[in-house]
Amino acid sequence: MIPMFETEMIYEIAGLKSVAGRLSVETPLIVGEGKIEGCPYIILTDVPGEPIKTAWKKLKDQDQIKIIKAMAQTMKELALCPTNELVEKRFNWNEFVTDQFLNCEEQQKKKQMPEAWQKSLNAFLKKFSLQEFTTEHPAFLHSDLTYDHFLIETENEVRLSGIIDMADCQVGHVEYELAAPTV
């Protein structure tokens, strides 16, 4: 039996090593790693701040804009991080996006998307070419920058303080990093 989250843990470690010391915000540092009775573990440093989801509505407009700019800067820095071989081989971006693009209609039918929505989606997708989504130069991607993973401090000065959870890291089209924060 594979211990719970063992696969994610190897990517968490690989991702943290890829970004360590390379961002303008903090990320957890690896203090220790190993196995106890066959179960893997990692010990990480704490990253200051609270998830954006708990503080966002309390922020003034100018502080929200400041945080959004810092998020954009962090995403830019992430894309410039070198990736190790494990992260590079995790996922073939161009194969994935090609499959998604060419099989979208079939996938949505399986999910029982209403026909009117399906027609609208098909018309929308026809506005694009597959080449807009593939890339010759895959970038490092956190791939899950949700409101749980961006941390902010609000005590003295409102600031983006860190990002956490690298378990979904991969390489791919740099604009894919915008998907989770946009949603």
**Tens digit of each residue's pLDDT, the chain (183 residues):** 556 677 788 999 999 999 999 999 999 999 999 988 888 889 999 999 999 999 999 999 999 999 999 999 999 999 999 988 999 999 899 999 999 999 998 999 999 999 999 999 999 999 999 999 999 999 999 999 999 999 999 988 999 999 999 999 999 999 999 999 888
- Give the pair of three-digit tokens for residue 33: 């790693």
Q: Element (H or E) spanning 103, and its range?
A: none
Q: Are 142 and 176 in contact (CB under 8 A)?
A: no
Half-sphere exposure of 85 (CA within 13 A, CB side): 0
Q: Are 164 and 149 in contact (CB under 8 A)?
A: yes
Nearest alpha-carbon partner for 35 in 67, 62, 13: 13
Distance CA 15, CA 170 (A): 8
Q: Are 134 and 171 in contact (CB under 8 A)?
A: no
* pLDDT value, residue 1: 52
